[in-house]
């Protein structure tokens, strides 16, 4: 059997044709034609939050004839069964011990790896150590403003001309560029999601169902939204609420607050982020109460699946564009959230226009295929002598006319 093999998966209840990879690549990873080999190191926190995106990256790299080694924590189910895997022992709180690094180093030494890639900020330090031990270039993924402190702490350990930052937004990339040496490549590679192949565009508010996503910690921002959801529940007795927390954080505080507000009958708490997008299938909107400065694919997935996104304005996230991809709250208070939560349910035509605009933005700037293509280009430049680093910072990404 030859030709492309197309994977169709469920994504937010919609069927998506993900990536076509050649049959012989999926069945024989030792075939000729590999251009390079990349070792991707992931931890439980990342796989809990972004397993689907990790899988799309692996499959997309294989389609580009780049061999992949998945370095996964022990106890993790296979993310992509047709790619090589190496297991490492994860400590408490995601800690990576020196013993784990030494074990990975021994396993990688004969694998002819071209690039090491840490897909989560907690893995930067061990991957930098592996890069020094194995004399390999390193790519560090950055998705959150909270990781800037790590850049400051580790910048003296980052080797010039053999380390690159893969940053999710331009604002984050500019902040990184101000902290590291001019010889360090800082590349903007936006998060990517697949576009559902079947989409009716018929937004409906008959049975209100809302996904609320954030840290799961009951702060002032969550409190404001919960208060307005109580009022919404009074108008819509069949209202359903689905709470999702990044990184699998404990949501007991949210549950206790929901009980106090009398919302517990409407509340559902998503227990596993591994299949969280299936919950988007029956939702009418996605609410992001907090401005965390952290890029997450679930927001882009909601846009791709046709959900209006209601969020607090976040200067670090360039995909939250008021009136184009989402409706935003500038200064969150009870009145602004009350108006925003009502808007999709009362102004159906405007909501459908927003949904169409958001889907168009994701299709033009945030598809999984775009992310893979930009990642391949970064790997080749950081690994090959034909792709030297520039003398000054290069913060590459979407052109200025896409702003």
Per-residue pLDDT at 177 exceeds 50: yes
More confident residue, 32 or 93: 93
pLDDT the model gives residue 163: 93
Residue 46 structural domain: 4-194+367-402
Within-domain flag for 116: yes
Task: Identify whether 103 is part of a domain.
Answer: yes
Residue 230 predicted with pLDDT over 50: yes
In a domain, 223, yes or no: yes
Do residues 81 and 39 share a domain? yes
308 domain-assigned: yes
In a domain, 202, yes or no: no
The answer on 230 and 266 residing in a single domain is yes
Tell me what pLDDT residue 30 has.
39
d(CA 234, CA 213): 22
User: What sections of 77-169 are H helices per DSSP?
Assistant: 98-108, 124-134, 148-154
Q: CA 385 to CA 327: how far, in whole Å?
A: 46
Q: What pLDDT does 277 receive?
A: 59
**Total count of residues recorded for the chain:** 403
For the beta carbon of residue 95, count every other beta carbon within 10 angstroms: 12
Q: Which helix (H) or strand (E) holds 214?
A: strand 209-214
* pLDDT higher than 60, residue 238: yes
Check residue 202 and give its pLDDT: 56
User: Based on the domain organization, do 118 and 40 belong to the same domain?
Assistant: yes
Q: Picking from 164-173, 265-274, 285-294, 364-373, which range would have the lowest pLDDT averaged per residue?
A: 265-274
124 and 243 part of one domain = no
Same domain, 242 and 378: no
- End-to-end, the C-alpha distance of the chain in Å comes to 45
Average pLDDT over residues 132-161: 92
Question: Residue 63: inside a domain, yes or no?
Answer: yes
CATH number (domain holding residue 226): 3.40.50.2000
pLDDT tier at 79, thresholds 50, 70, 90: confident
**Tokens (6 digits) for 122:** 């907690």
Whether residues 158 and 258 fall in one domain: no
- Of 165-169, 272-276, 304-308, 334-338, the poorest mean pLDDT is in 272-276
The whole-number pLDDT of residue 269 equals: 81
Residue 43 in any domain: the answer is yes
Whether 288 has a pLDDT exceeding 90, the answer reads yes
- Same domain? For 243 and 321 the reply is yes
Same domain? 223 vs 287: yes
The answer to whether 298 and 244 have CB atoms below 8 angstroms apart is yes
Residue 289, pLDDT score: 95
> Cα separation of 195 and 17, whole Å?
9
| Number of separate domains in the chain | 2
Looking at the structure, tell me whether residues 235 and 164 fall in a common domain.
Answer: no
Q: Are residues 329 and 382 in the same domain?
A: no
**In-domain check, residue 199:** no
342 & 384 share domain: no
**Lowest mean pLDDT, pick from 110-119, 210-219, 221-230, 264-273:** 264-273
Confidence of residue 397 (pLDDT cuts 50, 70, 90): very low
Nearest Cα residue to 291 out of 269, 310, 267: 310
Residues 193-215 have pLDDT tens digits of: 998 876 655 566 666 889 999 88
Q: Would you state the pLDDT for residue 276?
A: 57
Verify that 223 and 270 share a domain, yes or no.
yes
Least confident piece of the model among 177-191, 309-323, 385-399: 385-399
Mean pLDDT of 24-45: 68
Q: pLDDT tens-digit profile of 339-379?
A: 999 999 889 999 999 999 999 999 999 999 999 999 999 99
Q: Note whether 74 and 47 are within 8 A (CB).
A: no
Summary mean pLDDT of the chain: 83
């Amino acid at each position: 059997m030859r030709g492309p093999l197309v994977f169709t998966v469920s994504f937010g209840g919609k069927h998506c044709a993900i990536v076509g990879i050649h049959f012989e690549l999926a069945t024989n990873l030792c075939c000729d034609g590999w251009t390079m080999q990349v070792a991707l190191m992931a931890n439980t926190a990342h796989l809990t939050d972004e397993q689907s995106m990790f899988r799309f990256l692996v499959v997309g790299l294989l389609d580009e004839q780049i061999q992949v080694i998945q370095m996964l924590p022990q106890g993790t189910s296979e993310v992509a069964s047709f790619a090589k895997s190496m297991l490492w022992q994860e400590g408490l709180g995601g800690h990576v011990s020196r013993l784990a690094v030494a074990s990975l180093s021994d396993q990688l030494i004969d694998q002819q790896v071209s690039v090491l890639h840490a897909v989560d900020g907690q893995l930067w330090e061990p991957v930098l150590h592996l890069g020094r031990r194995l004399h390999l270039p390193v790519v560090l993924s950055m998705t959150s403003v909270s990781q800037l402190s790590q850049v400051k702490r580790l910048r003296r350990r980052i080797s010039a001309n053999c380390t690159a930052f893969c940053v999710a937004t331009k604002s984050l990339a500019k902040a990184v560029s101000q902290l590291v040496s001019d010889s360090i490549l800082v590349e903007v590679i936006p998060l990517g999601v697949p576009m559902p192949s079947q989409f009716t565009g018929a937004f409906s508010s008959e049975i209100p169902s809302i996904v609320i996503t954030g840290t799961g910690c009951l702060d002032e921002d969550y409190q404001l939204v919960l208060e307005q959801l109580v009022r919404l529940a009074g108008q819509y007795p069949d209202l359903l609420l689905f709470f999702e927390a990044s990184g699998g954080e404990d949501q007991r505080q949210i549950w206790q607050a929901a009980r106090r507000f009398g919302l517990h009958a409407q509340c559902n708490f998503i227990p596993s982020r591994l299949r969280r997008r299936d919950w988007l299938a029956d939702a009418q909107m996605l609410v992001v109460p907090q401005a965390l400065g952290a890029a997450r694919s679930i927001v882009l997935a909601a846009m791709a699946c046709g959900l209006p996104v209601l969020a607090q304005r976040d200067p670090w996230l360039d995909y939250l564009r008021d009136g184009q991809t989402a409706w935003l709250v500038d200064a969150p208070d009870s009145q602004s959230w009350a108006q925003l939560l009502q808007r999709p349910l009362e102004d159906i035509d405007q909501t459908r226009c927003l949904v169409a605009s958001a889907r168009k933005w994701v299709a033009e700037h945030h598809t999984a295929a775009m992310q893979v293509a930009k990642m391949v280009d970064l790997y080749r430049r950081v690994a090959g002598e034909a792709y030297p680093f520039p003398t000054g910072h290069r913060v590459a990404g979407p052109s200025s006319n896409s702003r």
